[in-house]
Chain A
């Protein structure tokens, strides 16, 4: 029996392609359902859940908005990083090195307790950036630097001949970038961009240090009120895990779709 024939017979017996099933996801789902069941049937966990749920909204909001801003900031600085213009290159390199060199926690503290009060005082209270926008700006600025490097890597991975072919047809540098280089580069950088999204969701928990009521902050609040640290942090961890797994699923789908195209 040839390999194909064997496969065909097997497919008849087992119509499911077993090797295509993400086993890790199955195991996780089983564990998840078990944990979820015990959580949902426990009065104590339901109480925590109800309490921290408003935090989930803020966490998602802050993550999605700062990710979208970070994507744009990253693209702009990434393009500057590959530019021949020495000023653009110097400015973008400075930005990337500074932002990458400071911990996000410090950046968020800076935004909350240094920059926004300074701005408020300097403008006599006319410009008063509240906590959430301040945190979003801080996260976007920090992740923009990481994403700038991702874009740069993607752009530089495209063969030089692509730019030359586009330019020889009369396209300007930016036209060639937009129509020839970036469409190819973005396909290559989808995995790291997706990773950034997931780690940004987790890092958004740092905004709790400037007293924003995100998921972690609400969890801490619950624990400090009830002294139920076990249930409180279990719930927080579980909710973060559910969100990142969900994101990871989205990222995989997008990647697969791009690969097929």
Chain B
């Protein structure tokens, strides 16, 4: 593999909420087009680490550099955030706007696109995630899986360099999960840099380049899916896997 400049560099990041340590001395580099899945027990700091990458949480100590910008020091976090798409567990679609308007809004405000151009892009993205015909529906008229796909389309319309997924399928009914995972697999195939917090082992197997195991805020091990499923190095990882794989 060629030596490339990592698109995300996390250096000795710390984050606590009061006396709860959510992220403890995490260092990790993520290359462009890499798909990294973060797994670990609940309350282990997975979501917090992800949210630190686009500064929804501000780290207490350490350094995070995204696409060449230190997110702790940059004057304009909004420009950096526009390059990082984020998908949330509870979708967080704007309920007062239709699917199309959800995708158009930030394009107009942040990317300064004309309405017509933004709408064309929105239609394109909705078609890509497989719900092109639902463009005129309000979020409340869509199923969970459809809402999550609109949320993915909304993030993609900004042409992000990185996509963050915070447990994108854990609030979905089982039969809705596949549609969302298919979209994510397609994205991975297209070479999107992805950081995903998820316990969908099917996705890990099919798309992950590396898996990071996070427990009590600390990185226990970073490994490939092959090694993870064959023989994890650390006992804690093994114990956790045996629990979620039954």
Contacts and interface: CB of A to CB of B under 8 A. Distances in A.
Interface of A: 159, 161-162, 164-172, 175, 179-180, 183-184, 187
Contacts of B109: 171, 175, 179
B106 interface: yes
The number of chain B residues touching the other chain, given as a range, is 20 to 34
Q: Which of A162, A170, A180 has the most CB of B within 10 A?
A: A170
Contact of B56 (A162, A168, A172, A179): A168
B94 A169 contact: no
Contacts of A165: 86, 88, 92-94, 151
B43 interface: no
B56 A171 contact: no
Contacts of B95: 184
B78 A161 contact: no
Nearest to A181: B94
Contacts, number: 58
The 8 closest A-B pairs by CB, nearest first: A170-B82, A165-B92, A169-B106, A161-B92, A168-B86, A170-B110, A170-B81, A170-B78
21 contacts: A161-B90, A164-B88, A165-B86, A165-B88, A165-B93, A167-B78, A168-B54, A168-B81, A168-B85, A168-B86, A168-B155, A169-B82, A169-B105, A169-B154, A170-B106, A170-B110, A171-B106, A171-B109, A180-B105, A184-B94, A184-B96
Nearest to A170: B82
A183 B96 contact: yes
Nearest to B107: A169
B39 interface: no
Interface in B155-172: 155, 158
Q: Which of B81, B85, B90, B109 has the most CB of A within 10 A?
A: B109
Contacts of A166: 94, 106
Interface of B: 54, 56, 78-79, 81-82, 84-86, 88, 90, 92-96, 105-106, 109-110, 151, 154-155, 158
Main secondary structure of the interface of A (DSSP, over half): helix
Q: Which of A162, A172, A180 has the most CB of B within 10 A?
A: A180
Main secondary structure of the interface of B (DSSP, over half): mixed
A203 B149 CA distance: 51
A130 to B, nearest CB: 43
Given A175-B109, A179-B105, A179-B109, A167 B92 contact: no
A181 B154 CA distance: 17
Given A168-B84, A171-B78, A162 B158 contact: no
A189 to B, nearest CB: 14
B94 A172 contact: no
Contacts of B96: 183-184, 187
A168 B79 CA distance: 10
B92 A162 contact: yes
A161 B106 contact: no
B118 to A, nearest CB: 12
A180 B40 CA distance: 33
Given A164-B56, A179-B109, A169 B155 contact: yes
A177 to B, nearest CB: 12
A170 B157 CA distance: 12
Q: Which of B56, B92, B105 has the most CB of A within 10 A?
A: B92
